[in-house]
Amino acid sequence: MAASPQDISSTAWSFAKQGYAGTSFFQALVLVLPSRLPQFGAQEMSNSVWAFATLLLSADPLLASVAEAALPRLRTWRPQELANTVWTYARLCFLHEDLMVGIADRLMVLRSTSEVGTFTVQEMVNTVWGCAQVMFCHEKLLESIGQTAIEQASEWHPRDLANTI
């Protein structure tokens, strides 16, 4: 019986949380994951590539595959999955322009609905930092986050404000 997407992503996440990159697991994941992506949900995709970024493991072909698999499904992704994906790609210095545009557009939709409350300070900071790292500019999204920072300045830690500059 094959491991489930949750099993795979949870294992990758666990290795990364422990700082353990010395395993053939990640080498196998680069080879196996692209064919399994249709079975993966947003959280499994996001967590799997997050592990590579946390451990600073190069995985350009995998990142490209995940981006292509994610694009048609971004409309179902939550702010945390979107922000984590931006952070992941930025941490690995991998710009996938279509993915970044898709994520920014989805975040703008979420920010214009009642779901805006689910977009945390940390997710906003990660998104702005990630955009800066890969030199991606989506002016409307950045303006929207900047306006939120102004409106909610009392809720933001000085470090968070500094990380968005």
Q: Residues 37-83: pLDDT tens digits?
A: 999 999 999 999 999 999 999 899 999 999 999 999 999 999 999 99
Query: Which contiguous run of DSSP H or E holds residue 40?
Result: none
How many Å apart are CA 87 and CA 103, to the nearest integer? 12
Query: Phi and psi for 71 in degrees, rounded to 5?
Result: -50, -50
Q: Is the pLDDT of residue 163 over 80?
A: no
The whole-number pLDDT of residue 155 equals 74
The reported pTM is: 0.86
Q: Residues 86-115: pLDDT tens digits?
A: 999 999 999 999 999 999 999 888 877 765
How many Å apart are CA 49 and CA 64, to the nearest integer? 11
